[in-house]
Amino acid sequence: MENINNTILEIRDLCVAYTADKLSVSHVSTDIPRNQITAIMGPSGCGKSTLLRAINRMHELYRGIQVSGELLIDGQDLLKINAMRVRREVGMVFQRPNPFPTMSIADNVLAGYSLNGIRLEKSMRQSIVEQSLKSVGLWNEVKDSLTKRGTFLSGGQQQRLCIARALALKPKLILMDEPTSALDPIATTTIENLLVELKNEVSIIIVTHNMGQAKRISQKSLFMYLGELVEGGSTEQMFSDPADRRTKSYLSGNIG
């Protein structure tokens, strides 16, 4: 395992089951490096998104899902602390841009504070909105439209707004579930470039079906198959010389 100081999240023997007789995520253990992009790859239904949602405690929104193991972020087990606190420290960005449709651009950025019942002075609100939008390269595009609804923006802008919303609470880790799959190639490139810059201030885990994307932007890659973590390591190593035949089959297009 990696040096603890270089690790933001330790996943230890994590299991997730939707039904009593089948594990969707089976005994996964790995370290997520700090200030890097970690890509999770694998065919549909292999447990990638389930793993991601377990980290954010989203499984608790559904009945009957069983989770065991440990998720240690800077030594704290995310499975044992308040779920709202977890979601302040671990942000989430989804496949399709989902700004809150009735909220303005500014209020979308501040939504995490509102949902957590955190009151802010006007000057602090303005500062958080400006800094968060600047961090995703959106400020100059929307600074004169902050009172308009977030849905007024293009798809790529909406996704950057959602990333700004996640960043506003200053999380330690951001989880991204196929964040560019609904975007056109130009918007996808913009998001990829943004993520490469953002890793200097926040650690990122991205689930992606796009092997080219994983190769372009991630430093560490994990390959999952049938709920198991088959292998994990540096992205460069995995793409050039995968250790497991299943990884090799996936990367060559024979699984998936």
Cα gap 55→73, rounded to integer Å? 10
Cα gap 217→204, rounded to integer Å? 11
Predicted pLDDT of residue 2: 45
Please state, in angstroms and as integers, the Cα–Cα distance from residue 130 to each residue in 58, 135, 143, 167, 191, following that order: 29, 9, 8, 12, 19
Tell whether the model's pLDDT for residue 116 goes beyond 90.
no
| pLDDT tens figures, 149-188 | 999 999 999 999 999 999 999 999 999 999 999 999 999 9
241: left (phi over 0), alpha (psi -120 to 50) or beta: beta
CB atoms within 10 A of CB 29: 14
Q: Which fold has domain 4-251?
A: Rossmann fold (3.40.50)
CB 9 within 8 A of CB 40: no
pTM of the model: 0.94
Residue percentage of the chain with pLDDT more than 90: 86
> In the numeric block, which tokens belong to residue 243?
């250790």
